[in-house]
Structure 1
Amino acid sequence: MLRVVLSAALLWGIGGGAAVPQQTAFDTWMFGDGEFRQNAAWILARTGRSVASLTVECDGGIPYVDFEAGYFPQGAFSGQVVFGFAEGGLALPATYDSSVAEPGWRSVFAQELYDRFRTATGVSVDGGPLGAATFPLDGAAAAIDRVLAGCAATARAAPAGAAPDAATLTLAFVQGRIAEACPSGGSFGRGALVQTDIDGDGLNDYLVDWGEVSCPPMGRGAGFCGAALCTIDVYASSIFRPGGYPQAILGLHKEVQPFGAPFQLRVQTRHGPVAWRWTGTELQAQ
Structure 2
Amino acid sequence: MLAKRTIPLFIAALIGFLLIATYFIPKTEQWGASAMEMFIILAAAAMVLGAGNLIMLNLAKISNRRPGWAYGAITLLAFFITLLIGVFKVGALPTATSPDNPWTAPLVSQEGVPFWWIYSYVYKPLTATMFAMLAFYIASAAFRAFRAKNIEASLLLGTAFIVLLDQIYAGEWITGFLPDLTSYVASFPEASQSFVQAIGIQVQNGTPVAAMVWEGATFAQMTAEQQAMATEVNNHLTGWWYQLVNGLRLENLTQTILDVPQKAGNRAIMIGIALGIVSTSLKVLLGIDRSYLGSED
Shorter-chain TM-score range: under 0.3
TM-score computed with the length of structure 1 as normaliser: 0.21
Determine which structure has greater relative contact order: mean sequence separation of CA pairs < 8 Å that are 6+ residues apart, divided by chain length.
Answer: 2
Between structure 1 and structure 2, the one with the greater Rg is 2
Q: Which has the higher strand share?
A: 1
TM-score computed with the length of structure 2 as normaliser: 0.20
